[in-house]
Each structure stands twice: as C-alpha cells, then as structure tokens.
Amino acid sequence: MTYKETAYAPYDFANRRHIGPSPAEMTEMLEAVGAPSLDALIDQIVPDDIRLKTPMTWGKALSEQGVLAKLRSVADKNRVMTSFIGQGYHGTVTPPPIQRNIFENPAWYTAYTPYQPEISQGRLEALLNYQTMIADLTALDVANASLLDEGTAAAEAVALCQRSAKSKATAFFVDQDCHPQTIAVVKTRAEALGWTVVTGNPFADLDPAAVFGALFQYPGTYGHVHDFTDVIAKLHAAGALACVAADPLALTVLKAPGEMGADIAIGTTQRFGVPMGYGGPHAAYMAVKDALKRNMPGRIVGVSIDARGNRAYRLSLQTREQHIRREKATSNVCTAQALLAVMASMYAVFHGPEGLKAIAERIHRKTVRLANGLEAAGFKVEPAAFFDTITIEVGAVQGAILKSAEAEGINLRRVGTTKIGISLDERATRAHTEAIWRAFGIDRRDDDLSHDYRLPQALVRSSDYLTHPVFHMNRAEAEMTRYMRRLADRDLALDRAMIPLGSCTMKLNATAEMMALSWPQFADVHPFAPETQTAGYAEMLRDLEAKLCLVTGYNAFSMQPNSGAQGEYAGLLTIQAYHRARGEGHRDVCLIPTSAHGTNPASAQMVGMKVVVVRVADNGDIDLDDFRAKAEAHAANLAACMITYPSTHGVFETTVREICQITHQHGGQVYLDGANMNAMVGLSRPGDIGSDVSHLNLHKTFAIPHGGGGPGMGPIGVKAHLAPYLPGNPMQADGGAVSAAPYGSASILLISWAYCLLMGGEGLTQATKVAILNANYIASRLKAAYPILYSAGGRVAHECILDTRVMKDRAGVTVDDVAKRLVDCGFHAPTMSWPVAGTLMVEPTESEPKAELDRFIAAMLGIAAEVEAIVEGKLDAEDNPLKRAPHTVEDLVGDWNRPYSREAACFPAGAFRVDKYWSPVNRVDNVYGDRHLICSCPPLESYAEAAE
C-alpha cells in the first residue's frame, strides 16, 4: 500500500519551542504588517551597513533529548565531592518541597521584578519574610530584599559607610579574617573611587580616626568568633561606621551584630537551602540601622494598603534607586537575587527558629567532636571556641592530608602552606568525621555523642528571632506546600501570560534548559573546588564563551558579573584599567545619552567617572551634533561613552558607527549596553560596529529566567585590546574582581548554553527575526489606537513604544490606569514610563504565539475603546473601570453602586472567563507606603486569615 506520511517532525524542531508563531501564523502576521517575507521585513529594519554578512552557525542544533544527553555527559566530567572548604559556601539540604515548588516551579522562576505590586503580592510577601528573617537574625532595623553575593554586598557596605559616616577619612578597614574573595571585591570597588583599604587585625591594627568605616567577619574565615562591641564603640566615637559580615546560621546561636552596635550587617543566605552551584546564584543580604535605610542599596519591600484599605505589599523608597536617581543613586543594583531570597526565606519558614537553631547546634556539636578527635591525636586546632569552622596547623604534611581527604571524597581548605581549614555543614555525617580523621592519620570512631559546646560563652545568643507567626506554622508539609502555592497563585508570571516588558526580554525559559540545575554534578560543586574536579564546568564555560564571541564579534568574555548592571561596572573598570595601563588614567568622562537605562549613569558613578549627558533628537536617535561637541569638549579626559543598540527606543540608529568613531578619535572607549541583543543575535554584532565592550543580559536574551527580580548573569565581552584588563580571579591576587566567585553564578550559565545548543546559530537568528516580526505585528495592529513612537517608516525593531499621553489629555487616563487595567485583562503591564514618561514600551519576544499577541491586542484595543467612552461621556470621568482597576473578587460581592457593570469591571477584552487571573488586591497606594514605612512582616494579623 502507498502510505502518506505526515510531514511533521517534532523532534527535529526543538527550537520551535522557543518560537511562538507557527509558520502559518507568521504568514498571516507578515500580511498584517505588509511585508512580503520575514527576510524582506528584516531588510527594511536592520540597516545594511551593520548586517552580519555570513550566517552565524556552529553546527546542527541539538534536539531536546540531545541537549539533555550533552548536559549529562558534561555533568559526568565534574566530580562531586563533599566540600568542607567553607569560606562562605556550604553544603545544604534544599527541602524537597522548596526544590520542587519554588526552585523548579515556573510560577516562581518566570516572574518579573515586582514593580507592578498588584500582580506580585506572593513574591512580595516571601521577600518581606526574607527581610524579616534578616532583620531578626542580625538584630538590625531594616533589611533589603537581597544583593548579588557576599563580596558585592561588602563592597556596597563600604560605599554606604562612605556616604553616611561623619568621618571624612578616605580609608576603610577590612578585618584580615574576612573571606579572601570578599577582600578582593571590596578592594576593586574602593580603588576605583580612590579609597584606601587597610587590612589587618581589628584588635591591634585598627586606628578608628583614620577610617570612615570597618568590616569584620563573624565568624572569621578561619573560625574565630570575636566580640566587636568595643571596637565598634571606638569607631563610633571617631565618627566611623561598623559593618559585620555574618553567617546567618551562626546567628541562630551567637550574639547578633546589632547587639554589638554594628550599623550594617551583610552576608550570604546560601546555606539556607540554596545549592552552591559552583558559585551561585544565591542571595546576599544587607541589614542596617534605621538611620541608614534611605541610603541603603537594593530593593526594599514594604507594607502599604490598597484602594479598599486592605494590606498590600510594594517596593518602598524607590527614589533611592538607579531607575529614578541615575548617577545620584545609592547603587546600580537592578536585577538582584529574588528567587534565591525566596528560597532562603522558605527554608526559614519550613524549619522555624527552633529548626534553624537545631541545625546550627548539630553542626556545632559535630565540629566539636571533630576538633576533640584531632586534638586528642596531638594536632593544634584553632580557635579554642568556634561555631562550625576550625583551622589545624599541620606543617609539611598539608598536601598529603588534603590528598588523603580527596581520596575519601572530601575537599578541605588549603590555608597558607601549613594549615588546613574545615567547615562542617548540615550534610556532614559521622562517616564524614571519621573520614576526615583518617585523612589526618587518626583511626577513631565518631561515637562519643555527649553534647559538648565550644561556643564562646560571652557570645551565646539570648535574644529571640523569627517570632512572627509565619515562621511558626504547623510543620506539616501539607501546610507548607499550600502556603507556597497560595503565594504563587497571587502572582502573574510567564507560565500564565505574556509579560511584554520592553527592554526586559521576558522570553520562554524552556524546561529542558532548566533541568540540569538540580543535578548534583552541577548543584553541589563548591566554587573553590580543585580544578581537577570541575572539568565539566570548564568545558561548558569554554564552549559558551566561544559561542558568545561568535554572537557578539568580541574576542574574550568574563563570566563574573552577576547582573547586567554589574557587567556595566565590570566593563567600565576594564576600560579604566586599560587607560591607566597606557598612562592615561586621568581619563574619567563618560558620555551617556539621556535615553540610557538608569544603571548606565549609576555604574559610571561607581567607578568614579563623571557623567556627561548627551541629548537625544526628536526622532529618538542620539543627537550627533551634541555628541560630537561633547566628545570634542572633553577630548582630553574622555574615558568612554555608553550607548545602547538598538537604542532604548528600539531604533537601529544609522549613526552608530559614527558615534563609535567619534569616541575613538577622542581617546575614549565604547561601552555598548547589550540588553537589546535580542534584536541583533545573528543579524549584527557589536564588535563589528566599533564597540569595545558590552555586557549581555543572559537573563534576557539567553533564556535565563528572571526569578521575580533575579538571578541574572551579565557577562562582558571585549575586543582583544581590553582582554588583559578583564576582572581578575577573586581567589588570586590579580585584582579587579567584581564577584565573589570566579564565574559568577556559574550554574545558571548552563541555561544559556543549553539554549544555544538547542537553537543552533540558525535558530538563534530565526528567533531574532521573529522577535522583530512580533513587535511589528503589535505595532501594526495597535497604531490606529495608539501613536507608535520612533517608528521610522512605520517599522520598529524588537519592541515598540505606545504613546498613552494622548489619553491623559483627552480623558484624564494615565499610563498607570492603563497598566492596572491590563491586570484585569490578565496581563503584566509593559515597561511603564521608560524610556519616555507617560508611555508603554512593549516587547513581545519571539516566544509568544499569535493567539497571545492577539489577546494582548484585544485588551489594548478594549482599553482604547474605554478611553473613547470617557471622551464621549458614556463612562464617568472618575468612576470608570480604568481609574478603578484592578478589580478583585471583592468587587463581585456586596453593594455595587458604580456607573459601570461588574461584568465590564472584571471581564474586559482579553480576560479569560474560566482561567481569569484575579488580582489579590485593588490598586496599591504608593504614597501611603512610603509615609508609613514598614519593611518587615506586620505584627498583628494572623496568617490563618489567608488560609480561610
């Protein structure tokens, strides 16, 4: 018989996972935008002189199963050991409900930063729990919602001291017992700004009058537990501030930094259930005294009320942040570590204060027994009192012991040339202790189970913590699971709807790309494990770097920066180091157009550059005359320019090459912000256009999920001449480290690598083209209702700016009203009021199928119709669905005396009937929240009410 075979080959087209519209849908969409073909559309939009002339390729794209097999083979090249290296990274047990329901749950990991509070109440509550946990453990007043890692948190603390201390000294003191990588990252930050870092023993070498602040580690990197109360008092008397880098688990049994008088505490919450991942991602924390809160970097969740007076969470004190204050911001932090902060907070919710304390005590007792055994065999163990870390003097046999331990499957820490450090963790067993003893040549059973404590008597904690009811739930997994589910359901993430945030590139995070993160061969690797154990990671890093070089036209990459903003900082430092090496260290002017993302000027400020603002012409392009004039005027001191391409307005400016030339001609280097690479991959390369350095937001263009505000990765690519000045390894003395770990949050690089393998060069190029098609489809369908800004020839790049200002003029409807009404329609609002105030910037990405684009278009047209109804007097100017949005289930019950129906309120165009997303709160009152600042869990109401 002749059998007619289906033409469908599902497994050959793994990259169809990433590309939303089907081929048939694309044909319809091209018709709607009036382009004969996808390639013709691209030719109309991407200028010919910046186009990549040869297709980007690196062999055949792998299937999903092929990618997973590849990841497995690379995983098997890592050797997973038990690492008792410590130094800020510890083995930990991720409670399975947290692993599956948060870490591996797209409802949590595909959310965006909670700028739209109404659709973010779940993660805002989890982050508030995190802040409460940190404030309690450190005994300080206000904590933020996470920073990138302990090293950068320390660097931020230095800057905070400098901003806030009375002392006008220019030096900062760092305890020699701080982790070496922390010292390295602090030095980088301080040196860029001309502050001296003095390292030494706080009890012998610290002159309080000579410094504006000091940082101590608690417990110290070698295990010492000191009381800093007296040194802190002396610092205060001299007008300086005190910071303590503290292990939050140790704080369950040890006196808190706040109780010693510290002004600032920082640290990492990695060991609260977040895998080491060869360096990250994990959440760092910062907590401060009340007087410092307005100077604190990072996001702070606060409590406010909604339009009905009900409790609602939101981000507070945003006026400190880069997106508002630009070069005057307290830091450049944008993406942080929200998902990991949520995990750490859930770990505390899961265990409660008693559970955390019991874990800490068990680790301590094991360390005591380990030390006892070593001492009984004649080894000199330091210190006499400790928490979980001891250091042993071993002399010439250091190498032999480390090797024997390795043969037992255990990594210990090499300290100097004669000592060994050991930090036990939650996973340590008696078998581990016995194996360590064997490595030291001791034949001994760990069977003395007497409860000895060697905590320093005077520093045993007596104060309470985690007293809030959320940390005292019934310990049944059923309750915990439902709590996490309840919070997830309050939020709108990519697993429910398109998140069309311009510049943020909220694309698909394919499941196959995420799976390897949970594998122990990647999750359980210590960042300072010997290289002989990390061949798999090394292979992935090499290959990813090679691919990113192909994508960008650069010659080398540094994987250190943990966010885009951190990439900017690292890139500008690289430029600075290059100038200095050429004897041109005086160059300190950075040209930045007014349209730049807020992180650009904030980063320039962090490296001590002077920001000179360049005008933007009416068509959205950089004003070339102004640029040239300013470059000439500052030629003697020009260090760099920072541009975004395509521009933040979503335009491929034809003058980009000229801008690069002008910068070079006047001795500057070009920093090209790569956040918009989703419009370029496979079509055009920054390195070919004349740029010298860029960061890539791997959490935008390269499929790492946004995690509700982090993690992210912002590696920087450079041309060859800058390669020698890339950030140095934080564990080696080569300087310039910007992160605590040599490859930043290494484990999530696996996602971007898997994405590249799954797509192939052609697939990535196709994704770019479809991203541009999707944006143009939306622009074409909406242009009659909304003016599209900067759309030369009716075309846009990968995003489009919808002008809603006319609605304000005609009907008093603000961009905020439109954004909140979109919540009723089941959408996350597009980027609001940036780069143009009063507008919405829409970036659909290639991942969205036509049906979802059409739903969004229907919603936007419905909103435009409501605005017309106000203009025509058919809807009240004040009491209308736009002003009252978002609507909640509370609006379905009780009296209803509004001039529009409940049906119109709750089921506007675009909203699903059965799968309707219900905002858990009505519109959040921002002003109230900043006036009545509460940044930890509110005391009164019981959480039981939420369960009703």
Ligand X SMILES: *Cc1c(COP(=O)(O)O)cnc(C)c1O
Largest CA distance in the chain: 96
Alpha-carbon dihedral 199, 205, 211, 217, rounded to 10 degrees: 50
User: Distance of CA 398 to CAs 90, 273, 402, 441, 680, Å?
Assistant: 22, 31, 6, 12, 52
Q: Which of 452, 512, 609, 425 is nearest to 72 (CA)?
A: 512
Distance CA 148, CA 333 (A): 8
Q: Which residues bind ligand X (CB under 6 A)?
A: 334-335, 503, 563-565, 597, 599, 644, 648, 673, 675, 697, 712, 714
Count Cβ neighbours within 10 Å for each residue of 552-567 and write b for 16 or more, e otherwise: bbbebbbbbbbbbbbb
Yes or no: say if 406 and 377 are a contact pair by the CB < 8 Å rule.
no
Q: Between 83 and 332, whose beta carbon lies closer to ligand X? A: 332
Q: Between 597 and 828, whose beta carbon lies closer to ligand X? A: 597
Identity of the amino acid at 851: A
Q: Between 383 and 714, whose beta carbon lies closer to ligand X? A: 714
Minimum Å gap between C-beta 252 and ligand X is 32
In order, the DSSP letters of 698-715 are TTTTT----TTT------
Q: Between 702 and 753, whose beta carbon lies closer to ligand X? A: 702
Minimum Å gap between C-beta 787 and ligand X is 23
Minimum Å gap between C-beta 103 and ligand X is 20
Minimum Å gap between C-beta 333 and ligand X is 7
Q: Between 411 and 563, whose beta carbon lies closer to ligand X? A: 563
The residues that bridge with 284 in the sheet, in sequence order, are 147, 268
Minimum Å gap between C-beta 593 and ligand X is 11
- What's phi and psi for 644, nearest 5 deg? -120, 135
Collapsing DSSP states into helix, strand and coil, what is residue 251?
A: helix
Residue closest to ligand X, measured at CB: 564
- 8-state DSSP, 727: P
Minimum Å gap between C-beta 503 and ligand X is 4
User: Distance of CA 894 to CAs 889, 890, 897, 906, 948, Å?
Assistant: 10, 8, 10, 15, 19
Distance CA 582, CA 592 (A): 24
For residue 735, give both structure tokens: 């300087």
- What's phi and psi for 407, nearest 5 deg? -65, -25
Minimum Å gap between C-beta 32 and ligand X is 28
Minimum Å gap between C-beta 749 and ligand X is 14
Minimum Å gap between C-beta 761 and ligand X is 24
Yes or no: say if 103 and 515 are a contact pair by the CB < 8 Å rule.
no
Minimum Å gap between C-beta 712 and ligand X is 4
Minimum Å gap between C-beta 600 and ligand X is 7
Minimum Å gap between C-beta 840 and ligand X is 15
Q: Between 167 and 503, whose beta carbon lies closer to ligand X? A: 503
User: Distance of CA 550 to CAs 71, 543, 689, 700, 883, Å?
Assistant: 21, 11, 14, 18, 49
- What's phi and psi for 643, nearest 5 deg? -125, 160
Minimum Å gap between C-beta 714 and ligand X is 5
Alpha-carbon dihedral 653, 659, 660, 661, rounded to 10 degrees: 130
Q: Between 561 and 760, whose beta carbon lies closer to ligand X? A: 561
- 8-state DSSP, 375: H
Identity of the amino acid at 616: V
Distance CA 140, CA 24 (A): 59
Q: Between 88 and 835, whose beta carbon lies closer to ligand X? A: 835
User: Distance of CA 23 to CAs 63, 680, 823, Å?
Assistant: 19, 21, 30
Yes or no: say if 924 and 314 are a contact pair by the CB < 8 Å rule.
yes
Note the Cα 871 to chain centre separation in Å.
Answer: 43
Minimum Å gap between C-beta 579 and ligand X is 23
Q: Between 701 and 776, whose beta carbon lies closer to ligand X? A: 701
Identity of the amino acid at 790: Y
Yes or no: say if 272 and 287 are a contact pair by the CB < 8 Å rule.
no
Distance CA 50, CA 896 (A): 59
Distance CA 252, CA 161 (A): 26
Specify the DSSP element, H or E, that contains 480: helix 477-490
Distance CA 26, CA 22 (A): 6
Minimum Å gap between C-beta 563 and ligand X is 4
The residues that bridge with 393 in the sheet, in sequence order, are 380, 419
Identity of the amino acid at 906: C
Q: Are strands 389-393 and 380-382 parallel, antiparallel or unpaired?
A: antiparallel
Identity of the amino acid at 407: A
Q: Between 536 and 712, whose beta carbon lies closer to ligand X? A: 712
Q: Between 102 and 565, whose beta carbon lies closer to ligand X? A: 565
Our CA angle for 449, 454, 458, nearest 5°, is 145
Q: Between 129 and 648, whose beta carbon lies closer to ligand X? A: 648
Q: Between 224 and 299, whose beta carbon lies closer to ligand X? A: 299
Q: Between 105 and 563, whose beta carbon lies closer to ligand X? A: 563
Q: Between 567 and 763, whose beta carbon lies closer to ligand X? A: 567
Q: Which residue has the tokens 């910062």?
A: 286
Minimum Å gap between C-beta 430 and ligand X is 44
Minimum Å gap between C-beta 502 and ligand X is 8
Q: Hey, CA dihedral for 631, 632, 633, 635, is it positive or negative? A: positive
Q: Between 132 and 600, whose beta carbon lies closer to ligand X? A: 600
Distance CA 829, CA 812 (A): 19
Minimum Å gap between C-beta 596 and ligand X is 7
Q: Between 21 and 709, whose beta carbon lies closer to ligand X? A: 709
Note the Cα 721 to chain centre separation in Å.
Answer: 29
Q: Between 707 and 714, whose beta carbon lies closer to ligand X? A: 714
